[in-house]
Structure 1
């Protein structure tokens, strides 16, 4: 399979956007948990779980879209 440089640059850009989105989701979940009265450890764990879940769903969607193209 021959991937042109434009497709490769687009893939790298999409992966960077997914990483940024997942980081923001994890940070927001941790912040909301902490504001809700959770301890620092629990808030960090909830943020990590939210990051992992959003990364899994985002990468699954991205791989589905790239496969469909």
Structure 2
């Protein structure tokens, strides 16, 4: 794995973390319990990382 590819995967994971934090905070703000908010954050993380990697891959960078 080249350094560029590693950095792009790292950026995709960072995007996923940001999306997960926002999703968890929004879930808690509407009154969800902490386990539910964590679950929603985890699902958002998985979706965001998947979409990010698919976009990076479709651009031919991975």
Output the TM-score relative to the length of structure 2: 0.88
Unpaired runs of at least 5, structure 2: none
After TM superposition, the runs of 4+ consecutive aligned structure 1 residues lying more than 3 A away are none
Deviations 1:10-54 (A, max 9, x none): 111111111111011001100110011000011011101111111
Q: Which has the larger radius of gyration?
A: 1
TM-score (norm 1): 0.80
Which structure is richer in relative contact order (CA contacts within 8 A, separation 6 or more)? 2
- Within the candidate set 24, 36, 42, 1:48 is matched to 42
Q: 1:32, 1:11 → 2: CA distance?
A: 32
May I ask how many residue pairs the two structures share in their alignment? 61
* RMSD across aligned positions (CA): 1.5
Distance in structure 1 (CA, Å) of the matches to 2:10 and 2:50: 14
